[in-house]
Each structure stands twice: as structure tokens, then as C-alpha cells.
Amino acid sequence: MIKYIKRYLLFAIIIAVIYLGMPIFFQGENYKYDAIEYQFVFPATSLLAGVAYSWKHGVDFTFPLIAPIIYIGSVLIYSHYYHWAIYVFIYLIVGMLGCFIGDMVYKNNQAEKRRKEREARSEGDDYRIKITEIKIEEKNDK
């Protein structure tokens, strides 16, 4: 359990800072930028966090739940308009998409590491064949 908390903690803090800090800048006269925040900044955060996490750890289906949970807290603190709650599902789907993209990169990185390990092992082999001289002789049937 502790290892999962350690894995998620940095990403959860970054997401929380963005989800709970950004609405402060969009309060008051800047309320017209709420759409930019909800439709571009928050999904981009969810996507990039999912890619970064899965790039390092592989796909994990519990990680995309972090962004919607923190977003619910943001809605309860700042918005009080519960029609914004539909974005919970959007951020969940975008987070899953980020995890799948990051997992593809993770698998490619793992395949590259295995290939390099095989090459390193084959370089250490003592079974090398050197062809130093090739002679071609003509056969005379006459």
C-alpha cells in the first residue's frame, strides 16, 4: 500500500496544485476564462499526468481516478455549479487515454532495453567466427 502511495503522491500533488490553484486565477472578473480552464487546462493536465505516470510505471487503471477525485473537490470548493460535474467523466476518460499512450511508450522502452541487453550479452560471447581468407578455385573439366 505504501509503494502505491509513493508512486501516486507526486502526480497527485501536481494535479491538486493545478486543479485547486487554477480556479483562484479565474475568479471574479476573469470568470469568462472558465471554459478554457475546464476544457483545455484540466484535460491537458489529466492527459499529461497519465502519460508521464504510465511512461514510467506501465498502465495502471487506478491512476486515472486521481484527477476526477481532485476535480470533485475543486467543484465543491470553487464552483457550486454541479453541472460542471459532467467533466468528471471526461477527465477520467482523458486520463485513461493518457495511461494507454504512456503504456505504449513504456512497452517500447522495455523492448528497447531487452534488445540492448541481448546485444550486450552477445558481445560478451567468445564464439566469434573470423573469415580471413576466401579462396576460389576454378574447376577444369577439359
117 in a structural domain: yes
The domain of 19 spans: 2-123
Grid look-up 477525485 returns: 69
Asked if residue 133 is part of any domain, the answer here is no
C-alpha dist (Å) from residue 141 to 40, 135, 137, 138: 83, 19, 13, 10
- Does any domain span residue 135? no
Q: Is the dihedral of CA 89, 54, 47, 4 positive or negative?
A: positive
pLDDT of residue 2: 83
Q: How many domains does the chain divide into?
A: 1
Model pTM score: 0.70
In a domain, 45, yes or no: yes
In-domain check, residue 141: no
Q: What is the pLDDT of residue 87?
A: 83
pLDDT of residue 129: 64
pLDDT tens track, the chain, 142 positions: 788 788 888 888 998 998 888 877 776 665 666 777 778 888 899 999 999 888 888 888 888 888 888 888 887 777 666 677 788 888 899 999 999 998 888 888 888 888 888 887 776 655 556 677 777 777 776 5
CB atoms within 10 A of CB 116: 10
